[in-house]
């Protein structure tokens, strides 16, 4: 049987209180008060759709054998590159084998569920043993707009296969309609949205029931036998009305997570599914549906295998590690929606040597160092000569992944003069528990969290952006866990 083998999710730590937006911009748009309840997830300045996809994927692969993955699908409408395989970059950061397929799914908010259907079809056909599907979005909006409050940033990841399945696919059904609730031209920065009434009455209220009813009919399932319905809908009243149109009881409907995170675009159906899988029982039937120029609806049944899945952060872990944020201007600056003076030190060339990037791709994207095959000493970056005194073996290094190795702060500096979007800039020496040291930037932390001996988690983040050439450079940073 084909289905879900593992799951993971990631929501950025920052939660911007919607009332903070209202307090800053309510003088211009007083109507914002109607949407100013709760909070939305907010990417840190060095996070984007790719970095949060990496975080969700790493969470999904906890305890999994990465060598079995034969394809990587990445779904998003806010990917950093229009002409470069973003899914290929994701595979490189996870240090997966080179002999695999990759594909980007984009251009519609249902890209996440579309990628999920495609992956399951591929697995059922027998072409691939396992396919990793990750969906993420970090969408920009104009300031002082309802969508600025409604949207959130987040990612979810599912590993699909035929062995050790925790949720079996019972069937899927797709509806394709050129219904346009919003759009973004190929050279535009922001979406253009039509009336909410139109989206609600002709979109959500008709297309979701059509897709989900078709799925129920195709699989011979009674709506009363479904434990949970997962479908994104940022219009609160419509969210409940859809279930009513399907004959479902209120308790069968998964919450839309508006108050905790906002709507996370292509990732949102998968985020809702992951949240339900975290608390599901064997035998539960779960429907997940995506919306955008139609709808994809999928029906899963949870198996006994879910009890054996290793613990992971998931949605619940991401929600638990939240950090409240009231400063609205951080959203503007982190997303480059306002231009500020960064000082003369910011006037440097960030051109990337693509030849060097390719040669050092294992270190830069995969954070792979070396381990001496003679004495077992790890080191990063990998060098021809072993660093251990008394060994000095030449050309003895084998690949060694550092991204998941336990590490702590050995030394640190808080630099108020260095260029930083969120000063001070923290950096220092990180020491890995099993061996190896490296100077690294620290990120997503407060001054009180940075101390010698504090454990750190290694995370993939933006390093720089080359404005002249439109190129985003990435590397790994340390997040203090105090």
Structure tokens at 202: 């002709």
pLDDT tops 90 at residue 24: yes
Instruction: Indicate the pTM of the whole model.
Output: 0.96
- Please state whether beta strands 192-193 and 413-415 pair in parallel, antiparallel, or not at all (unpaired): unpaired
Closest CA to 74 of 90, 58, 55: 90
Handedness of CA 360, 364, 366, 370 (dihedral sign): positive
Closest CA to 132 of 111, 159, 94: 159
Question: Taking a C-beta distance cutoff of 8 angstroms, is the pair 56, 273 a contact?
Answer: no
Give the rounded distance of the alpha carbon of 242 from its chain centre: 27
- Tell the burial category of 463 from Cβ atoms under 10 Å away from its Cβ (0-12, 13-18, 19+): middle
Question: Taking a C-beta distance cutoff of 8 angstroms, is the pair 239, 252 a contact?
Answer: no
Question: What's the CATH number for 352-367+402-480?
Answer: 2.40.50
Rounded Cα–Cα distance for residues 112 and 230 (Å): 13
Q: Mean pLDDT score of the chain, rounded to an integer?
A: 96
Q: What pLDDT is stored for residue 85 in this prediction?
A: 98
Secondary structure element (H or E) that encloses residue 120, with its range = helix 111-125
Per-residue pLDDT reduced to its tens digit, 364-397: 999 999 999 999 999 999 999 999 999 999 999 9
Q: What pLDDT is stored for residue 342 in this prediction?
A: 84
Dihedral (C-alpha) 394, 477, 317, 148: value to the nearest 10 degrees?
-150
Q: Which CATH superfamily is domain 3-334 in?
A: Thiolase/Chalcone synthase (3.40.47.10)
- Tell the burial category of 140 from Cβ atoms under 10 Å away from its Cβ (0-12, 13-18, 19+): middle
Mean predicted confidence (pLDDT) in 171-194: 95
DSSP state of 34: G
Name 90's Cβ contacts closer than 8 Å, sequence gap at least 6. Answer: 50, 53, 54, 57, 72, 74, 102, 134
Structure tokens at 73: 């699908």
Segments making up each domain of the chain, as ranges? 3-334, 352-367+402-480
- Tell the burial category of 350 from Cβ atoms under 10 Å away from its Cβ (0-12, 13-18, 19+): middle
Q: Is 50 left (phi over 0), alpha (psi -120 to 50) or beta?
A: alpha
Per-residue pLDDT reduced to its tens digit, 405-457: 999 999 999 999 998 999 999 999 999 999 999 999 999 998 889 999 999 99
Q: Is 95 left (phi over 0), alpha (psi -120 to 50) or beta?
A: left
Q: What pLDDT is stored for residue 181 in this prediction?
A: 93
Distances (CA, A) of 198 to 116, 292, 359: 28, 14, 51
Per-residue pLDDT reduced to its tens digit, 137-176: 999 999 999 999 999 999 999 999 999 999 999 999 999 9
Q: What pLDDT is stored for residue 346 in this prediction?
A: 80
Q: What's the pLDDT band for 284 if we cut at 50, 70, 90?
A: very high
Q: Which residue has the higher pLDDT, 114 or 338?
A: 114
Question: Taking a C-beta distance cutoff of 8 angstroms, is the pair 269, 232 a contact?
Answer: yes
């Amino acid at each position: 049987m084909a289905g879900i083998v593992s799951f993971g999710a990631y929501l950025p730590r920052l939660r911007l209180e919607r009332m903070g937006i209202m307090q800053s911009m309510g003088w211009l748009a007083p109507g914002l008060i109607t949407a100013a309840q709760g909070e939305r997830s907010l990417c840190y300045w060095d996070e984007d759709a790719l970095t949060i996809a990496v975080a969700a994927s790493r969470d999904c692969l906890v305890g999994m054998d990465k060598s079995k993955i034969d394809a990587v699908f990445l779904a998003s409408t806010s990917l950093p590159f229009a002409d470069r395989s973003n899914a290929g970059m994701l595979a490189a950061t996870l240090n997966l084998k080179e002999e695999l397929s990759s594909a980007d799914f984009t251009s519609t908010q249902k890209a996440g569920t579309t990628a999920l259907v495609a992956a399951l079809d591929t697995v059922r056909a027998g072409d691939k043993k396992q396919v990793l599907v990750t969906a993420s979005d970090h969408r920009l909006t104009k300031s002082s707009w309802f969508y600025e409050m409604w949207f959130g940033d987040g990612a979810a990841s599912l590993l699909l296969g035929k062995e050790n399945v925790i949720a079996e696919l019972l069937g899927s059904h797709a509806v394709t309609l050129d219904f346009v609730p919003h759009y973004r031209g190929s050279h535009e920065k922001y979406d253009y949205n039509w009336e909410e009434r139109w989206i609600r009455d002709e979109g959500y209220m008709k297309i979701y029931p059509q897709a989900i009813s078709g799925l129920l009919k195709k699989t011979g399932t009674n709506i009363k036998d479904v434990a949970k319905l997962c479908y994104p809908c940022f219009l609160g009243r419509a969210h409940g009305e859809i279930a009513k149109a399907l004959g479902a009881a209120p308790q069968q409907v998964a919450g839309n997570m508006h108050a905790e995170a906002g709507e996370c675009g292509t990732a949102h159906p998968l985020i809702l599914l992951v949240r339900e899988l975290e608390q599901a029982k064997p035998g539960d039937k779960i429907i997940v549906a995506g919306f955008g120029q139609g709808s994809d609806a999928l029906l899963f049944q949870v198996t006994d295998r879910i009890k054996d899945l290793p613990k992971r952060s998931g949605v619940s872990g991401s929600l638990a590690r939240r950090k409240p944020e009231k400063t609205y201007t951080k959203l503007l600056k982190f997303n480059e929606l306002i231009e500020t003076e960064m000082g003369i030190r910011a006037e440097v060339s960030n051109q990337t040597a693509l030849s060097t990037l390719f040669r050092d791709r294992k270190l830069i994207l995969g954070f792979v160092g070396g381990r001496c095959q003679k004495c077992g000493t790890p080191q990063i970056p990998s060098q021809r000569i072993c660093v251990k005194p008394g060994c000095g073996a030449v050309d003895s290094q084998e690949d060694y992944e550092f991204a998941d190795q336990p590490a702590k702060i050995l030394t640190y500096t808080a630099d108020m003069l260095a260029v930083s979007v969120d000063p001070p800039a923290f950096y220092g020496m990180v020491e890995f528990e099993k061996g190896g040291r490296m100077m690294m930037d620290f990120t997503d932390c407060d001054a009180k969290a940075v101390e010698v001996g504090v454990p750190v988690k290694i995370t993939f983040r933006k390093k720089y952006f080359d404005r002249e050439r439109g190129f985003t450079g990435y590397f790994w940073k340390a997040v203090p866990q105090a």
